[in-house]
Amino acid sequence: MKYKDPNLSVEERVEDLLARMALEEKIAQCMQIYIPPENREEILARIRAVGLGSRILSDEQLAGSVSTRTASIADLNEVQRVAMEESRLGIPILSGTDVIHGQHTIFPIPLAMAAAFDPAAVEEACAMAAAETASMGIHWTFAPMMDIARDPRWGRIIEGFGEDPFLGSKMAAAAVRGFQGELDDKGYIRPGRVLACAKHYIGYGAAEGGRDYNTGEITDHTLRNIYLPPFKAAVKAGVGTVMSAFHDLNGEPASGSRYLLTDILKEELGFKGLVISDWSAVSELINHRVAADEHEAARQAFDAGVDMEMISECYNRHLAGLVQAGVISQERLDDAVRRVLSVKFRLGLFEHPYAGKDGQMEQLLLESHRAASRRLAARSMVLLKNDGLLPLKPDTGRIAVIGPYANERRSLLGSWVNDHLVDQPQTLVEAVRAAFPEAQILTARSGLYDEMLMAAAAADVVVLALGESHARNGEYNCVASIELPAGQQALVDAVAGLGKPVAAVVYTGRPAALTRVVSHVNALLLAWHPGSLGAEATADVLFGAVNPGGKLPVSFPRSEGQIPVHYNHNSTGRFNPRYLDMPVTPLFPFGFGLSYTSFAIDGLDVQPQAVEPGGKVRVTVTVTNTGTREGEEVVQCYVQDCVSRRTRPVRELKGFERLALQPGESRRVTFELGMDELGYYGPGGKWVLEPGDFKVWVGSSSEASLEGRFRVIG
């Protein structure tokens, strides 16, 4: 037996294997490479000689913006067989790719998922994506991305869970649970699940100017209180891997920072999995001009705590020399290899190395997955304005469904979809016609604004589908203006000028400045990039089959001139900040979203009024559906530490619950606030809960006004 039987502990199996590994074999485990067809034989020879840690299936460094091909099951199995049967130790290879919001069944983009304020739904989506991915023989997804983002100019805002640390933490943990599932009694990930990856560690969303890869300058106080919580939650949820980011943060590249990767992540948070660099981020230390060459880049990244190098080959070329020269200790090398081997054992890779044994391709495009995607898409949509026009009635007369996104398919899927069936989505026009075959639906050829106006002129009501292409956001796709793309405002103005009632639908990945749209329409529905069933979900909401209940996970600025604008800003010492030419408040605040019904939130009760530092405060309210149809409200609980030794936000989300209520139905909702919710990283970066007064607000957005108080004594 090349390695100990699975009845022994992972630790014993790792130590047994490690003790038998030669230097070159250890270093091979610290590499992730792409296997291009033209180099296949050379790479297979290398695998026979020393093995390989991992192969990445994305063949594009901007995988999210272009469709990439995933290796076939036959190819995955053949390469795995060479590793298992023709190398000396038979260590299996970990295959990984970017399954960010679905593998074949595409779910709404992660920012949209966050808008549902429903961690269980996110967990379900990730579990389904895991099942589809695992059935293709892929072991590892580079997700969830959990970068806090406060700048909609940054294209990757679509990929995370928005601006709030608490919401981001809940979503990150839910996604990790969904991808990896509950570990079995020996701590192994069960078949049908995949290894998750918390990325991009850390502070990637703080890129100056919203320009991807750009420098980030954030204080340690902000780093720990705003950007770290989602990673802390992911580590607590048992995430198997973490990806180090590209950018320079506070004077050192994240992929070369021992402070970030070892002091905080591995030692302070106790992360026991493996850290992989982002694509060539190790060799890019040279571009950051902190390393003169690959030799120094390898030393810096490995010493910092990057256990596995993605794509670039600094480790392959220089790690042996660094270890033999004693510059990198044997202990550090063994630590990295232990982490890699532990992940492989925990994934059950030694027992289930081949694809096709556990429901090969049977998990793809299951009707249950499609139904879940449609449900989550509808629940993620945010109703931003409605003067009563929505929901539409199919017999409303002639309904014009027009606009640049009325007949669009691919962009509904959003960025970061590999191997999808690009013609999979229905268009909005097709979905509306399929849902209401008797309705009189008019449309026009996309791009022909004159024909669109003719359809609108002939209609009784207009559905105007606006938005941005999936190719305009995602990695490296950043914009200076967050207005809708050129021409769309003119179309809005022209359609509005016809005097017909207009419901605008906005398919967008990033927050757009909708200031001049909202004033010209009767209703405004934010549909995000809603995935494979996004058109059907849009029709579900527009015509009332689903009552929208989504809330904004990120503030929507009036203009890019306001950026950064976010609800959890600090107090200021003097007058409240202002602009002379625009309000300082966003067009739509964090947590905002309307419904086809109405809700009352009252009866606030805060007990106890005085709590010991180790105790919990229970904040309870009554939520009532005061309208005439069923609906879902996301009740939100915000807290302010009235006086603290370091400045803190004017309010912070510390609890939320999405409630479904029938007309007239009331329910009591309680939020428990303890050390985890009330403490913060204070002086010296230490987690503290300081005695003193706290305010609490409960409501339906970050503008909640139902206020209570309590005191932490001690």
- Catalytic residues, by residue number, are 278
Count of positions (residues) in the chain = 714
Report in angstroms the alpha-carbon separations of 688 from 265, 271, 527, 613, 630: 19, 21, 40, 10, 42
Residue 359 to residue 375: CA distance in whole angstroms: 25
- Residue 202 makes CB contacts below 8 A (sequence gap 6+) with 223, 227, 228, 231, 245, 249, 254, 260, 265
Beta carbon of residue 289, minimum distance to ligand GLC (angstroms, whole number): 20
Q: Which is nearer to ligand GLC, 279 or 449 (CB)?
A: 279
Q: Which is nearer to ligand GLC, 142 or 449 (CB)?
A: 142
Report in angstroms the alpha-carbon separations of 193 from 38, 96, 126, 189, 593: 31, 13, 9, 7, 34
Task: For tokens 């990039």, name the residue.
Answer: 529
Beta carbon of residue 287, minimum distance to ligand GLC (angstroms, whole number): 14
Specify the pairing of strand 252-253 against strand 274-277: unpaired
Beta carbon of residue 622, minimum distance to ligand GLC (angstroms, whole number): 43
Residue 42 to residue 702: CA distance in whole angstroms: 57
Beta carbon of residue 93, minimum distance to ligand GLC (angstroms, whole number): 16
> Taking the chain, what is the end-to-end CA distance rounded to the nearest angstrom?
59
Q: Which is nearer to ligand GLC, 309 or 641 (CB)?
A: 309
Q: Which is nearer to ligand GLC, 276 or 441 (CB)?
A: 276
Using CB under 6 A, list all residues that contact ligand GLC. Answer: 58, 61, 63, 98, 142, 199, 278-279, 475
- Residue 540 makes CB contacts below 8 A (sequence gap 6+) with 374, 378, 435, 546
Q: Which is nearer to ligand GLC, 142 or 166 (CB)?
A: 142
Instruction: Tabulate helix, strand, coil % of the chain (nearest 5).
Output: 35, 20, 45
Element (H, E) at 670: strand 666-673
- Nearest Cα to 119, choosing from 669, 683, 711, 655? 655
93 touches 47 (CB < 8 A): yes
Beta carbon of residue 111, minimum distance to ligand GLC (angstroms, whole number): 15
Residue 70 to residue 609: CA distance in whole angstroms: 57
- Closest residue to ligand GLC: CB criterion: 142
Q: Which is nearer to ligand GLC, 278 or 641 (CB)?
A: 278
Task: For tokens 């009635």, name the residue.
Answer: 393
- Residue 482 makes CB contacts below 8 A (sequence gap 6+) with 152, 153, 510, 511, 512, 513, 557, 559, 560, 563
Torsion of CA 169, 170, 172, 177, to 10 degrees: 140
Residues forming beta bridges with residue 461, ordered by sequence position: 399
154 three-class SS? coil
Phi, psi (degrees; rounded to nearest 5) at 265: -65, -55
Q: Which is nearer to ligand GLC, 63 or 669 (CB)?
A: 63
- Nearest Cα to 541, choosing from 430, 671, 392, 649? 392
Beta carbon of residue 575, minimum distance to ligand GLC (angstroms, whole number): 41
Beta carbon of residue 61, minimum distance to ligand GLC (angstroms, whole number): 5
Beta carbon of residue 279, minimum distance to ligand GLC (angstroms, whole number): 4
Q: What is the greatest pairwise CA distance in the chain?
A: 80
Q: Which is nearer to ligand GLC, 63 or 594 (CB)?
A: 63
Q: Which is nearer to ligand GLC, 58 or 701 (CB)?
A: 58
Beta carbon of residue 98, minimum distance to ligand GLC (angstroms, whole number): 5
208 touches 154 (CB < 8 A): no
- Nearest Cα to 554, choosing from 405, 701, 377, 378? 701
Tell the burial category of 63 from Cβ atoms under 10 Å away from its Cβ (0-12, 13-18, 19+). buried
Beta carbon of residue 33, minimum distance to ligand GLC (angstroms, whole number): 12
Gyration radius of the chain over CA positions: 26
Q: Which is nearer to ligand GLC, 137 or 394 (CB)?
A: 137
| Sequential DSSP letters for 178-221 | HHH----TTSPPPTT--B-EEEEETTGGG-GGG-TT--B---HH
